[in-house]
Structure 1
């Protein structure tokens, strides 16, 4: 049996997958939604010492406690950083690593490093780089207000009820995980992987990725390999709220190895 281990992003928790889990289970898959230390209903466990290693261990433990032949590990937004870190430590357990509207983490870079180096200039970038200045007691970044979610959250397709739920359940985010540099080996790039781009309000899609590969950019060349597939969802950054059934279908297809493949000629 295939089990999806779902890793949520900053300020959220396993609760964001509520509407995605039923269609996955109806298709015969197992589902384990991870809530990282200091987030969601584990917010009381956060402290100044909470860092990326803490979150990686959260995901490692989730993988270790899943009784399944195949683990499909899904990292959403910030959640891809602990997901990739855990995949590097449990490569033998991972059937596929799914990047859900997320960055492509690199060894030796923190999330904030990559925001600084790669994210286009604008209010969203400045807000993320200002996490340390907003942090209470030097380590706890308050959750966005509903108005801030509307302005910066790319909520295209999310209903007013969905936004109310996000705002009600969002938790502060420890600063440490965003600032600590990720350490991974080349084994991660060799894992079968799928990327899911949310194209409404997003900055990247399959065509843009193909152009990057064709340009010869070294860090994306492995994405033209036979084990890499890609999907697009015509929605904003919260597909688990805006299009949960469609997202579940994409995750099932990714687990089956389906999706768009970059042509070998593009890689050349």
Structure 2
């Protein structure tokens, strides 16, 4: 049995992982969809006063209670608090799985890494409102799309403006990247990044780093939960391809 901690991206809570956790549980694993402070059912916890530090503390506390041997899964923004927590507690983490996201450098914030999102253009009262739509390219079924708009909550702005604190301890951990092809991430793109020779992309080709590709969009926990759960189980077993494998 493997324990999976699943950290969601922007605007989402543990609810986003329900179909994935159900599938993992059916396969005999322990799976916990994480709701971070200020989000979803925890939205009453003064979201305007919540930052990346509080999100990191929450994931760290879960690692302390669930580890060692946890497979830490993070989608999109979730890699910021998840990676910061893994960096604090590397002995608790068996593998970090990046779901359609990259990894930040020490001192980098979400808005610094992804300025193209324009997150700060929409800030209202210390939070970022939920986007009005998820583009059709992401293949989210109508029922899941309705559920997203019903359950999604505004994102505390400090979670995307505060810089991540990393010592580099996480770099020694096995990792797996799950690329969602409809969103533009792929093995080919990762090879291009590694080919730049920039130090921040060196880990992509290291031993113990594997990759999967899913033919879906940026929200695979909503659009392809069974397929994603299968990939997570395989990732936990160390499966997947290396950066330059066929």
Q: What TM-score do you get using the length of structure 2 for normalisation?
A: 0.95
Matched-pair contact (CA < 8 Å) for 1:155–1:238: no
Give the superposition deviation at 1:181. 0.5
Give the superposition deviation at 1:69. 4.8
Equivalent residues in 2 for 1:78-227 (5 A)? Answer: 78-116=77-115, 125=116, 128-129=117-118, 131-137=119-125, 139-145=126-132, 148-150=133-135, 156-200=138-182, 202-227=183-208
Matched-pair contact (CA < 8 Å) for 2:19–2:221: yes
Matched-pair contact (CA < 8 Å) for 1:46–1:174: no
Q: 1:47 to 1:247 in 2, by over 3 A?
A: closer
Report SS of the residue matched to 2:164.
coil
Per the alignment, residue 46 of structure 1 pairs with: 46
Matched-pair contact (CA < 8 Å) for 1:51–1:176: yes
Per the alignment, residue 121 of structure 1 pairs with: none
Alignment partners' CA distance in 1, 2:145 and 2:5 = 24
Structure 1, unmatched stretches of 5+, are 117-124
Alignment partners' CA distance in 2, 1:41 and 1:104 = 27
Alignment partners' CA distance in 1, 2:221 and 2:10 = 15
Alignment partners' CA distance in 1, 2:206 and 2:224 = 29
Alignment partners' CA distance in 1, 2:106 and 2:170 = 10
Matched-pair contact (CA < 8 Å) for 2:51–2:158: yes
Residue-by-residue CA offset, 1:108-135 (whole Å, 9 max, x unaligned): 100100113xxxxxxxx2xx32x33422
Give the superposition deviation at 1:33. 1.1
Alignment partners' CA distance in 2, 1:27 and 1:256 = 14
Report SS of the residue matched to 2:43.
helix
Residue-by-residue CA offset, 1:213-265 (whole Å, 9 max, x unaligned): 2332221111211110000000011111111110000000000000011249x
Structure 2, unmatched stretches of 5+, are none
Give the superposition deviation at 1:143. 1.4
Between Structure 1 and Structure 2, how many residues are aligned? 245
Residue-by-residue CA offset, 1:43-87 (whole Å, 9 max, x unaligned): 110343311000001101111222x55200011010110000100
Alignment partners' CA distance in 1, 2:195 and 2:158 = 36
One of 235, 239, 243 as aligned partner of 1:254: 235
Alignment partners' CA distance in 2, 1:195 and 1:133 = 30
The farther-off stretch of 254-263 and 42-51 is: 42-51
> Structure 1: which 4+ aligned runs deviate by more than 3 Å?
none
Report SS of the residue matched to 1:108.
coil
Per the alignment, residue 119 of structure 1 pairs with: none
| CA RMSD between the two structures | 1.5
